[in-house]
Chain A
Amino acid sequence: MIEASTLTEVLLLRDYNTRVVVLGATLLGLGAGVVGSFTLMRKRALIGDALSHATLPGIALAFLFATALGYDGKSLPLLLTGAAISGAIGVGAISLIRRTTNLKEDAALGIILSVFFGAGVALLGIVQQAPGGHAAGLESFIYGKTAAMLVRDAQLIAIAAAACVAVSLALFKELSLLCFDAAFAASRGYRTALLDGVLMAMVVVITIIGLQAVGLVLMIALLVIPPAAARFWTDDLRRMTRVAAGLGAASCYLGALLSAIYPRLPSGAMIVLTAATAFLVSSLFGVQRGVAIRAFRRRRFLRRIELEHLLRSVYEVVEAHADETAPVERLQSLRSWSPAALRRVIRRAEQGELIRRDSGDTVRLTTRGAIRAEWLTRQHRLWELYLITHADVAPSRVDRGADDIEHVLEPETVAQLERLLDDRDRATPPASPHVIVTEVGR
């Protein structure tokens, strides 16, 4: 069990190491969330993956050159510069392949990732023989582990994250235009190549600073998962960026704390898993595009359609028989609905006070129901007439098409139909252009 004292010590960040790791990781999560939102919307979520792998040859070359010239090959600024240069070359090569050939983004990413990483591995094979190179571990030195983060790393992360957030805020309008419609942005005179360059530069900065602090897979995860999770909550890019930054920071904070409390859980993996949990929860319950809300919307829409079909059926039976009431069995024969479904939708319509049920299994429309039924029938028949007169569809075949579209006709479209069909009489629906069979048993 965990001692209460350990818990308070960790939660209040009393331990110096924990404080550094938690704060550093949280800031990184925030910055990566912001940058990742833009790359996700630009459909380049995996650019961070390719970029991280593409840094390896730069690191090895920087080490080799530095030792050959007599400097300390393991100086951090030097290795970071090497990483940044080779990463930037990789990103440039990806964009060259994408622009000049018929290969797609994914192929370009895969090529650069594997070829650059292969070159890096080959160079590391040489680094290990380098004179004076106690070079073994260069790879793990640069692809750090979260738990071993130093103050220096945390400071670098703070600077990089602040820079990325500042640039994103300053260029928010331009970057969001680039993400949603690059062609439109170009036509408005924005320099999209330059903006893409700015975006890629932000990715390079945050990735390289993050890589040496938290390692390769965690860095990729921080760039991809929080923005993808935020996407379920909102359609607004500004809000999405904020949610992604928040989710990224929270995942890092929680993951790093969990790992500090339970030493057997590696911090990088716990951060990824926290973020993955946030992703799962968001994908299910996100209020904008979550699975649950979309299922709910769909269900509500289908119920509305069912209800509207009932109202129109009642109207048509009433109209055909010049009777106030419609027997349920006639409604039953009008459409292919099961008796149970019909009873369910009648009950819902009753609750909504759209129809009333009389004794003897007949229903009648209330005033509210009659208004809505009339309006629906009118739209249905206007569309049928339109199909017959303007689209040359046979009268016997227009019912299905109108059945689907009557629920989603906009008022503007209805107005246009009225003009086209010269239908000025807004009060009552026109006569049905086809036979409606309302008799039972035919």
Chain B
Amino acid sequence: MSLSPALPLAWTWTLDGWIVLTGVLAAVAAALLGNFLVLRRMSMLGDAISHAVLPGLAAAFFLTGERSSWPMFVGAVVVGLLTALFTEWVHRYGEVDEGAALGVVFTSLFAVGLVMIVQAADRVDLDPGCVLYGAIEMTPLDTLQVAGFEVPRVVVVLSVVLLINVLYVSLLFKELRIAAFDPGLATTSGFPSWAMHYSLMTLVAVTAVASFEAVGNILVVAMLVTPAAAARLLTDRLSVMVLFSAVIAAASAVLGHAGAITIPGWFGYRSTTTAGMMAVAVGGLFTLALLFAPQQGLLPKAYRRVLLSLRILGEDVLGVLYRVGEQAAAPAMTFDELHERLLCRRGSLWAVIMVLQRRGLLQRFNGTSRLTDLGVAVARDLVRSHRLWEHYLVDQAGFSPDQIHTKAERLEHVTNRAMRDQLDQATSVASTDPHGQAIPEETPEEP
């Protein structure tokens, strides 16, 4: 699909630049804290806070009688903190599962807020949507004068929030790390883990509420969890994870806005919601991490599994040919004979034989395969491992001879020379295995 010429990429820096900057600021601020929420299994907190702030907004309105930003901000942050606190109480004193405790608390708070708002409905139009579903597209319209420049108000607010979060995470990194992985250790090493917990909760509430108004709650909930989760798939080091999550969050903010402008054009529509597309973008990046992350990713994992099974099959081919060579004068087997012995897929067997041939371990002649000298040497070590294990299992571990073959079949693939030497010692240099077959000598090492 190509870009429709009728709907060109309408990107103007004065407008889209500010929108993207707002998105990046909100996304990175949330993602930094999100790392610790994900590690402490509190990822759903953002979602809970986004529902639960309603009574805070309503209470602020009742107390001040006006719809100004500051009291509502404070009210929402306080209730956001209360959500965390109540959840903790229900979890600890009621012995309720954490997820369920969160569900009980935020739905109840939301209901309280709804009742309060309905009571106020005939006095003022208090739309929770105006706070919860802030529109990022409107950010360039509401500006402030900062050092002579005209800067959107939201950009100023979010810059401050981001700065606080960066300072918090970088200055208290060690404490946050210990508190995330081992709260008990944190307490014994002299700083209270509850203080870390509630300072984190406070910042999450502040970040969430500041961003709700600017960019909407979807983006906050998405950015609190998803970049950190994607980064978690990519690394096991917390410092690297924090950096990755920030990069992923910023990238998805940029991609999201670009997508919101361009993608609907492909289908003949105008642009769509930027915040929604930013959530989609971070979801896309997470999917990429899920598929391709070097250690955790689904495709690398599947690739490693296939590689391992092919390596084992290759070693089995060598072993079979070696054992045939022990008995027959002409130690060669046709493809069908090998297939019958190994009961594997024909395609896999073909691939393995090709690889073995290329490595010079196996020769093919008139449709039959036979070991080269190098192949014999490698196969001898394998068969030696197998028979040493069998002997060891019977001799030292007390298995009966009919139980040992499958075990040895598995162990032979993970046995190196040093282990073979030890087995040899442990079985007092045996010369035959329990089935009466000779244990081959170790191949001399290359000079």
Contact = CB atoms under 8 A, between A and B. Distances in A.
Interface of A: 40, 43-46, 49, 53, 97, 100-107, 109-111, 113-126, 129-130, 217-218, 220-221, 223-225, 227-228, 231-232, 264-266, 268-270, 272-273, 276, 279, 283, 289, 291
Interface stretch (B150-158, B218-226, B239-247): B218-226
Nearest to A255: B111
A125 B272 contact: yes
Given A115-B280, A126-B269, A273 B264 contact: no
A191 B184 CA distance: 39
Nearest to B46: A110
Given A110-B43, A111-B229, A119 B276 contact: yes
Contacts of B273: 121-122, 124-125
Contacts of A289: 94-95
Given A107-B225, A115-B280, A231-B96, A276 B104 contact: yes
Contacts of B17: none
A118 B278 contact: yes
A61 to B, nearest CB: 12
A109 to B, nearest CB: 6
B179 interface: no
Interface string B88-118: 0010011111111111100110111011001
A273 B112 contact: yes
B38 interface: yes
Contacts of B42: 106
Contacts of A103: 38, 229, 232-233
Interface string B138-150: 0000000000000
A269 B221 CA distance: 23
Contacts, number: 206
Interface stretch (B165-173, B282-290, B333-341, B362-370): B282-290
Contacts of B226: 110-111, 114-115
A43 B97 contact: yes
A230 to B, nearest CB: 11
Given A46-B44, A109-B99, A232-B94, 18 more contacts: A100-B298, A105-B99, A107-B229, A111-B222, A111-B226, A122-B273, A122-B277, A122-B280, A217-B110, A221-B103, A228-B97, A228-B100, A266-B114, A269-B118, A273-B111, A273-B115, A276-B107, A289-B95
Nearest to A104: B41
Contacts of B110: 217, 269, 272
A273 B194 CA distance: 30
22 contacts: A46-B99, A100-B290, A101-B296, A102-B296, A106-B99, A113-B47, A114-B225, A115-B226, A115-B283, A117-B218, A122-B260, A124-B273, A125-B260, A130-B269, A224-B103, A225-B103, A228-B96, A228-B101, A231-B96, A264-B118, A269-B114, A276-B107
Contacts of B118: 264-266, 269
Interface residues of B, number: 62
Given A40-B100, A268-B111, A106 B44 contact: yes
Contacts of B46: 110, 114
B386 interface: no
Contacts of A123: 272, 276
Contact of B221 (A114, A220, A266, A291): A114
Nearest to B222: A114
B303 to A, nearest CB: 14
Nearest to B98: A106
A103 B101 CA distance: 21
B279 interface: yes
A291 B96 CA distance: 11
A114 B102 CA distance: 17
Q: Which of A103, A124, A266 has the most CB of B within 10 A?
A: A103
A272 B111 contact: yes
Contacts of B104: 221, 224-225, 228, 276, 279
Nearest to B97: A43
B51 interface: yes
A221 B106 CA distance: 9
Nearest to A286: B94
A125 B99 contact: no
B279 A269 contact: no
Contacts of A44: 99
Interface of B: 38, 41-44, 46-47, 51, 90, 93-104, 107-108, 110-112, 114-115, 118-119, 218-219, 221-222, 224-226, 228-229, 232-233, 260, 264, 267, 269-273, 275-280, 282-283, 286, 290, 296, 298, 301
B100 A110 contact: no
A268 B282 CA distance: 33
Contacts of B271: 125
Contacts of A130: 269
B99 A118 contact: no
B276 A118 contact: yes
A110 B290 CA distance: 15
Q: Which of A53, A101, A223 has the most CB of B within 10 A?
A: A101
Nearest to A232: B94
B42 to A, nearest CB: 7
Nearest to A100: B298
B107 A101 contact: no
A118 B44 contact: no
B340 to A, nearest CB: 33
Contacts of B114: 266, 268-269
B290 A101 contact: yes
A125 B44 CA distance: 25
Q: Which of B101, B233, B264, B276 has the most CB of A within 10 A?
A: B276
A43 B276 contact: no
A91 B157 CA distance: 36
Contact of A110 (B51, B97, B221, B260): B221
A225 B264 CA distance: 40
Q: Which of B90, B93, B269 has the most CB of A within 10 A?
A: B269
Q: Which 8 A-B pairs have the closest CB atoms?
A: A118-B279, A115-B283, A122-B276, A125-B272, A110-B225, A224-B103, A121-B276, A114-B222
Nearest to B133: A121
B252 to A, nearest CB: 10
Given A109-B43, A115-B222, A217-B110, A264 B119 contact: yes
Given A40-B100, A104-B41, A224-B100, A283 B276 contact: no
Contacts of B224: 110
Given A101-B296, A104-B41, A106-B44, A118 B94 contact: no
Nearest to A221: B107
Nearest to A53: B47
Contacts of A106: 38, 41-44, 98-99
Contacts of A220: 103, 107
B97 A45 contact: yes
A123 B100 CA distance: 30
Nearest to B270: A129
Contacts of A113: 44, 47, 221
A291 B94 contact: yes
Given A44-B99, A115-B226, A221-B103, A102 B218 contact: no
Given A110-B47, A111-B286, A121-B273, A217 B100 contact: no
Q: Which of A40, A49, A122 has the most CB of B within 10 A?
A: A122
Contact of B44 (A110, A115, A273): A110
A64 to B, nearest CB: 9
A269 B111 contact: yes
Contacts of A104: 38, 41, 43
Contacts of A109: 43-44, 99
Nearest to A289: B95
A276 B109 CA distance: 10
B275 A107 contact: no
